[in-house]
Chains A and B, each alone.
Chain A
Amino acid sequence: MSDFLASIERRAFKQALFAVRDEETALDIVQDSMLKLAEKYGNKPAGELPMLFQRILQNTIRDFYRRQKVRSLWTTLLSAFSPSDDVDADPLETLEIEQGSYSPATPHGNLEQTQVLAIIEEEVKKLPPRQREAFLMRYWEDMDIAETATAMGCSEGSVKTHCSRATHSLATALKARGVEL
């Protein structure tokens, strides 16, 4: 269990970060997923752990989306009744700062490689959630189509479609930004 968690924790964090775009939330999601796996499925064979963990991770991310949806609904409702104190506040300013904070720093290493990485991560974030899930499970987690389908709770045909669309979208977007893979 220890080796398995050590091997997936960083990728799991990145996956959660691509989905929720907030480092703290992504860390919470990874921690929750690890706890759930250890508590409920600790006795499962090692071969089943990657699929089980991915299923838990994706469900935890979806739970976050649901909670966020409810919270934003209440925020909208409450803000409609309360007058804004700062009329000149521009929400885009905050948004830009948040996005900037996730760009990788480049103190060392190849600048071009880091730039390509940043562009790829940005484009992966932009993928529709189901396409991103399928693509990352298939090619980053090295899960086969059947495992991915089980983890996503859909058919193998859907996994193929999601992967194909994700790859096509990524290739097109990266080409448009001058990145040749």
Chain B
Amino acid sequence: MNTEREIGYKVRHYLNLGTDELDRGTAGRLFEARQNALARYKVAGTQLSMAGLGHISADQFLPHVRALIAIVGLVIGVIGVATWNNFQKADELVEIDSALLADDLPINAYLDKGFQTWLSERSSQD
């Protein structure tokens, strides 16, 4: 096992010498390749940070937007119910008014105290 490791590291020593002896052209091409990769790395990094920013802002504002939508919905609901009740009351009043106006008995009869007394006596007799 030790022999394997020893051989491995001796071969590595020679291989390292080989990398030191690379010609200038190849070293230059490798430098260029590295620069290209780093340029791409910076672009990718910028995009990542932008995406992160978008993510953070969405995270920050999303709960508030949800709460706002819920509140607006609630207010619209309350206003809707109140308006519907008003319409119903108005309808009831319209029915009563139209019943009174369409009745054979004139409206002034209801203002007559004698008539009111006669009505209460009549209802108690029944």
Interface residue from A31, A124, A139, A171 paired with B9 (Cβ < 8 Å): A139
Contacting pair B14 A116 (CB below 8 A): yes
* Contact yes or no, A10 B40, CB < 8 A: no
Contact A35 B40 (CB under 8 A): yes
B119 contacts across to A, CB distance below 8 A:
none
In the complex, chain B residues 7-50 whose Cβ is within 8 Å of any chain A Cβ: 7-12, 14-19, 21-23, 26-27, 29-31, 33-34, 36-38, 40-41, 44-45, 48
Find chain A residues with CB under 8 A from B10 CB. 181
A120/B14 in contact, CB under 8 A: yes
Residues of chain B lying within 8 A (CB to CB) of residue A113: 14, 17
Q: Place the interface of chain B in its size category.
A: 20 to 34
| B4 contacts A by Cβ under 8 Å | yes
Cβ-defined partner of A34 (8 Å) among B4, B34, B45:
B34
Q: What's the least CB distance linking B29 to chain A, in Å?
A: 5
Q: Which of A30, A109, A139 has the largest count of B CB atoms less than 10 A from its CB?
A: A139
From A5, A23, A124, A164, give the contact of B15 (CB < 8 A). Answer: A124
Distance A116 CA – B34 CA, assembled complex (angstroms): 30
Contact: A38 with B18, CB < 8 Å? no
**CB atoms of A42 and B44 under 8 A apart:** yes
Q: Is A96 positioned at the interface, with any CB of B under 8 Å from its CB? A: no
Residue in chain A with minimal CB distance to B29 = A27
Which of A10, A116, A170: most chain B CB closer than 10 A?
A10
Task: Give Cα distance in the complex from A124 to B29, angstroms.
Answer: 24
Residue of A31, A104, A163, A164 touching B18 (CB-CB under 8 A): A104
A 35-48 to B, binary, CB cutoff 8 A, 1 in contact else 0: 10111101100000
Contact B37 A5 (CB under 8 A): yes
17 A-B contact pairs sorted by A residue (CB < 8 Å): A5-B37, A10-B30, A13-B22, A14-B19, A23-B26, A31-B33, A35-B40, A38-B40, A42-B45, A116-B14, A117-B17, A135-B8, A136-B15, A140-B11, A170-B11, A181-B7, A181-B10
Residues of A that sit less than 8 Å from B by CB = 1-2, 5-6, 9-11, 13-14, 23, 27, 30-31, 34-35, 37-40, 42-43, 104-105, 109, 113-114, 116-117, 120-121, 124, 135-136, 138-140, 163-164, 167-168, 170-171, 181
